[in-house]
Structures are given as C-alpha cells and as structure tokens.
Structure 1
Amino acid sequence: MKAIIITQPGPPEVLQLADRPTPVMADNEVLVKVMAAGVNRPDVAQRKGNYPPPAGAPKDIPGLEIAGIITETGSNVQRWKIGDKVCALVTGGGYAEFCNVPEGQCLPVPENLSFAEAASLPETFFTVWSNVFDRANLQPGESLLVHGGSSGIGVAAIQMATALGSTVYVTAGSEEKCIFCEQLGAANAINYKTENFSETILQLTSGKGVNVILDMIGGDYTPLNIKCLADDGRLVMINAMRGKDVQVDLAAVMRKRLNLTGSLLRSRDTGFKSAIAKNLEEHIWPLLASGKIKPVIYKIFPANEASKAHELMESSEHIGKIMLSFEDL
C-alpha cells in the first residue's frame, strides 16, 4: 500500500509518500480502505519526534482518525461486514491506503456526511466526550470554557456541549475566529490577544466563574484558569502547548474545592475507547444525522500534500479541521 511516512524527525518536508506492507489484522479488528484521514496536532508532535506512538502502532506512519470502507474482517468481529462505511479512532497509521482498527473503535458514517466529514470526527469527538463529559462530568445548565475555540477540539466542544444543554465560552486568536465560534453556538468568544480571558469570564458570569475548563494551552494560562473557575469547578488538561511547569495557588484550589485533572487518549486501551464510541453513537450520532451538529472542515489536501497540511496546522490560521484525501492516491 501507499502511505505517508515520517522519514526522520523534522519539518513538514520529512513527510513523504512511500510503499509499506498492508497491515495484518488481529481477530478483533477490521481492515479499512482509507478514503480520508484527519490531521491533528499530535501528528505534528510525532513528526517532530516529540510524541512517540504507543506499542503496536506504526512508528513512522502518523494519523489518528480515518474514514473509509471495510475490506476485511477478523474472525471475532461481530458487528461489521465487508463494504460497511465507517469512521474510526486509531492509535496510528491513518495516513495510509489501509488501516487496521479494533471493531469497537469504529462508528458508522452518517448517511448525510462525506468520507472527509466523517474522518474529521473521531479524534476530536472522542477527546471531548472523554474529558468534558466523562472526566469533568459537565451537566446541562453548567458552563464550559474551551481554549482554542476555532480548533478541531474547540469546534467539537462548542457544538457538543451546546447541544446537550450547557453554556459555552471560548478563547480564540482573532476577531474572525471569535465571530465564527459565536455563530457556531458559543455564548461568548474572547480574543485572548486583546483581552484577559479570566477577567472577562468573571464579568460574563457575574463573578461566579465557569464550572468546567477544557485547556490545551497550559503554562501561564493555568493560574488564570484557576482564578475563573467556579466553586467545585473542574479543570481538564489535554495538552500543554505553553509549558508543563506551572505555579498553582493551592489555597484557591482548596478554598473553591477545585478538581484539577487531565488525560491522554492515545495510549488508552481498546475497551476504554470502545466505551467512548458507544456513548458517542448514543448521544451524539443522532445529532449529526439530524444536522444539529455539523463537521467543520477548513481545507482538504490530497494525501501526497501532507506536508502542506502540516504547514497549515502549524500556522494556526485554520478554523476547524484539516483533512487528507486518499481517494485519488
């Protein structure tokens, strides 16, 4: 098969088209002919040599989410059959013509979505569900602050939390991005380049703060997050783009009874990811089918232009997801 490989750690140009053996399935896996794959920041980190894949995942083929057509099924697979259209969360190997996936990590492609739209869902939707709804236990009527509101994670979080009855605030880096987030459903979008988000959140919430914060920034955002969390608030970390070493006001944590937590999804086992898939199919997939939640794709690149897709990702100019198409590879 053809695959986009990381020839060596480095800039986007190290991504090159190459021949690789077609993956061999386990008994509980399906083999998917990949039609589209999502581009995510963990792919960039892996390309740079900063995010090694877990055991069993391809070392030189990035890609954490795909959509396509099942061409083979393992002997223990019960739900899926050859010809089914699925999207899936994978531990790696998504930038390729074929990818093997545990059956529980697959979800049906909604009939109203293209392969590219379906492939834009798994990484961000699994991440948001696991962290915002499972780990932070966001409830209808509560408030959520999402940093990076125009990112793939942000776009998913705005729509999911709003649809399930919460008020969503976001930060974004331009007026254009802020307007887009509010049009998508955010109650307020804060331009972090011109405003102190913590002070603005306290103003918007009459001094109470928000119930949950989903943060991929870390660093100097951390004390500001703690400042604008409500009593019994929950801060969930999923990345630390501005640094992992921070100062925390423990007195504020104790006084407000805060819960500071975080997680990484890629290394979790199949059972954990399959449980998330079941929740998504029950609670979110009907909202995709009805159009209440919609994929937001900024640009689709041919797979052999993966380096350009990574350049765009690192520029942070995009709003929504960046995708690779394998249909014409």
Structure 2
Amino acid sequence: MLAVCVDAPGGPEKLLLRSVPRPNPKDGEILIRVHSTALNRADLLQRRGLYPAPQGASEILGLEASGVVADLGPGVKGCWRPGDRVMALLSGGGYAEFVSAPEAHVMLIPSHLSFQQASAIPEAWLTAYQLLHFVGQVKPGDVVVVHAAGSGVGTAAVQLARLAGAIPIVTAGSPEKLRKAEELGAAAGFNYKQEDFSEGILLFTEVKGMACGTKTSELEWVSPGRGADVILDCIAGANWEKNMRSLATDGRWVLYGALGGCPVNGDLLGKLLAKRGQLLSSLLRSCSLQYKAELVKAFTEKALPHFSPDLLPVLRPVIDSVFAVERIAEAHSHMEANRNTGKIVIDFPDFQSLKSVNLDA
C-alpha cells in the first residue's frame, strides 16, 4: 500500500508518499480502507521529531481516519461486515491506504455524514469529550473557557460544553474564529491579541452575561467576578497568569498542550493553592487501549447520536479545508501558519493510480 512517510525530522518537505507493507489486523482489530484522514498538531510535532509514536504504534502519521471495513482480525466480537462505513481513533497510521485499529476504537459513521466529515471527528471530538467529562468533570451551569477556539478540539469543545449544559466562553486570535465559535454556541469570545481575556472572563461572570449577549437565566447563579469553573488549555506557559486570574475558586484547569511554551515564572503553585484549584493534564494518544475504549463507548452513547439532525442539539464537525494526499505538505504548512478554523482533512484517491512521489509543497 502507499502511505505518507517521514524519513528524517524536519519541515513539510520531509513528507514522502511511498509504498510500505500493508498491515494485517491483529487479534481484535479491524482493517480499514482509508477514504479520509485529518490533521492534528501531534502530526506536526511527530514530523519534526518532537513527539514519537507510543511503543508498538505505527510510525506513520495520522491519529484518525474514516473509510470502510476491509477485513476483520481474529477475535473481533462485533457484527462488523466488509464495506461498513466506519471512523476510528488511532495511535498512528492514518496517513495510509489501509490502517488497523482495535475494534473498541472504531465507530460506525452516522448515515448522513460524509467520509470527510467523519474523519474530522475521532481525535478532536474524543479529545474534547475526554477533557470535559473524564478530566474536567464538567457539570451543568459550569463556565468553561476554551482556548484556541478555532482549532478542531476547540470547535468540538464549544459544542460539547453546550451539550453538557455548560456555558462556553472562548479565546482566539482573529475575529473570524471568534464569530465561528459564537455560531457554534459560545456565550462570549475574546481576541487574545487585542485584549486581556482574564478581564473579559471576570466581567462576564460579574455582569451575568448581559454584556456578552447571553440570556440572563444562564448565569443567574454566578456570583460577581467568580471566574471559570473549567479551563481547557493547550497554550500553557504564555497564558498561565491570565488563566490563574480567570480560574474560579475550586476550578479545574485542564492542560492538554503547550503551544505557548512550558516555562512558568512566579508563584503559580501558591496562587493555585489559594484558590483550591486543580491543575490537571492529559495526552490522549498515550492513554491505555482500555481507557480509549471506555472513552469511545461513552462518546458513542452520549454524543454521537447528536450528529443526527433528528436529535437536538445537533453537533457538527467543522471542516476548514480539504487537501488531496498529494498536497499533504501544503496541508501541514496551512496548519503551521494557524490559518485553519476547524479541521484540515486529507482525501485519499484510488492509490492504484499513484506512484511514489516527493510531496514537497
């Protein structure tokens, strides 16, 4: 089969489409013929040599994919059949013609969704669901801050917070990304390049949302300037002082990335202790197979039905752009420039017609 490979760490020009052995599904695994995959920040880090695949996982990039069931490994227990339309959470291997995934990490694609839409769901939406429910323990009425609201995880987290009865407020670096977040259900949004989001968050909770266009009833319980109950943070060091100021007493600060660097100066622990705050962290990729299976099960039961127009509120994956696999380097450059709002999807053609090529953008 053909797959996108990285022979040496570096920029997008290091991506190469070439022939590699086709995986054989192991015990309890499903082999998927990939139609689409989607980009994640972890792919960029792995390409640069900064985020190696977990032990035993495929070295090929790609943490999610959609396609059809091609084969079943021994021990598969479900009623899967060749040709079933599926999407899967992966530890690697999604940038390829075929990929194997544990049965418990595979989900049927809702009938009205395309392969492109489905490929935008597993990694981003399961990450957001995990951060909110498994780690952040979100409750109805909680104020939830979502940083990087234009990202795949961000656009998912806003919708899932609303589904949970929480009140999402967001930060982003452009008016366009803030408008999209508000369309998806954000109660307020702040441009971190132009304003201090911590002041906005405290003001929002003080004035009961009226200045931000939110119904008074949503925040009647909020005491003046109490801050956010949950913060979903993929920025880290660059935002720590404003996050600390934004955090409510007994709040949960969930760290899942470090786009703004890791160093932290000042009395972080003392201030966190004074607020009785919880600093939590998670990296989904390195979690156990059993943990991921439980996450997929919970998401399938609680959230996946809402991707149907028959059940309100309706959830929808946000797709920024679609690239053919031959343009994978261009897609990586697009993400590195932070130009995307939502997911960047990669389409796979009939690989029989392709030859090994250099994918330098």
What displacement does 1:220 show? Answer: 2.3
Aligned residues: 328
Is the CA contact 1:215–1:236 (under 8 Å) kept in the aligned structure 2? yes
Amino acid at match of 1:285: L
Query: What is the correspondence of 1:111-260 to structure 2 with a 5 Å cutoff?
Result: 111-206=111-206, 207-247=225-265, 248-260=267-279
What displacement does 1:58 show? Answer: 2.1
The residue aligned with 2:222 is: none
> Secondary structure at 1:125's aligned position in 2?
helix
Task: Calculate the TM-score normalised by the size of structure 2.
Answer: 0.89
The residue aligned with 1:281 is: 300
Amino acid at match of 2:68: I
**2:271 corresponds to 1:263:** no
> Secondary structure at 2:237's aligned position in 1?
coil
The residue aligned with 1:11 is: 11
What displacement does 1:239 show? Answer: 0.5
What displacement does 1:250 show? Answer: 2.5
> Secondary structure at 2:62's aligned position in 1?
coil
Is the CA contact 2:138–2:164 (under 8 Å) kept in the aligned structure 1? no
The one-character-per-residue Cα deviations of 1:84-111 (angstroms, maximum 9, x if unpaired) are 1110110001000000000000011011
The residue aligned with 1:307 is: 329
Is the CA contact 1:143–1:168 (under 8 Å) kept in the aligned structure 2? yes
Is the CA contact 1:302–1:328 (under 8 Å) kept in the aligned structure 2? no
Q: 1:290 aligns with which of 305, 309, 324?
A: 309
> Secondary structure at 1:205's aligned position in 2?
helix
Could you tell me which runs of 5 or more consecutive residues in structure 2 were left unpaired when the two chains were aligned: 207-224, 352-361
**2:46 corresponds to 1:46:** yes
Could you tell me which runs of 5 or more consecutive residues in structure 1 were left unpaired when the two chains were aligned: none
Whole-angstrom CA distance in 1 between matches of 2:319 and 2:268? 39
Whole-angstrom CA distance in 2 between matches of 1:26 and 1:223? 47
Amino acid at match of 1:103: E
Whole-angstrom CA distance in 2 between matches of 1:58 and 1:78? 23
Whole-angstrom CA distance in 2 between matches of 1:328 and 1:177? 34
What percentage of residue pairs aligned between the two structures are identical?
Answer: 41
Whole-angstrom CA distance in 1 between matches of 2:286 and 2:188? 34
> Secondary structure at 2:284's aligned position in 1?
coil
Amino acid at match of 1:188: A
> Secondary structure at 1:317's aligned position in 2?
coil
Whole-angstrom CA distance in 1 between matches of 2:257 and 2:315? 25
Instruction: Provide the alpha-carbon RMSD of the alignment.
Output: 1.1
Amino acid at match of 1:310: H
Amino acid at match of 2:344: I
What displacement does 1:328 show? Answer: 4.0
> Secondary structure at 1:266's aligned position in 2?
helix
Name segments (4+ residues, structure 1) moved above 6 Å.
none
Whole-angstrom CA distance in 2 between matches of 1:327 and 1:109? 19
What displacement does 1:249 show? Answer: 2.8
Whole-angstrom CA distance in 2 between matches of 1:269 and 1:128? 17
**2:346 corresponds to 1:324:** yes
The one-character-per-residue Cα deviations of 1:32-85 (angstroms, maximum 9, x if unpaired) are 0000001111000000110010111222x1000000101111111111222211
What displacement does 1:251 show? Answer: 2.8
Amino acid at match of 2:235: I
Whole-angstrom CA distance in 2 between matches of 1:268 and 1:83? 29
The structure having more radius of gyration, on CA atoms, is 2
Task: Calculate the TM-score normalised by the size of structure 1.
Answer: 0.97
Is the CA contact 1:36–1:327 (under 8 Å) kept in the aligned structure 2? no
Whole-angstrom CA distance in 1 between matches of 2:113 and 2:189? 28
Is the CA contact 1:37–1:94 (under 8 Å) kept in the aligned structure 2? yes
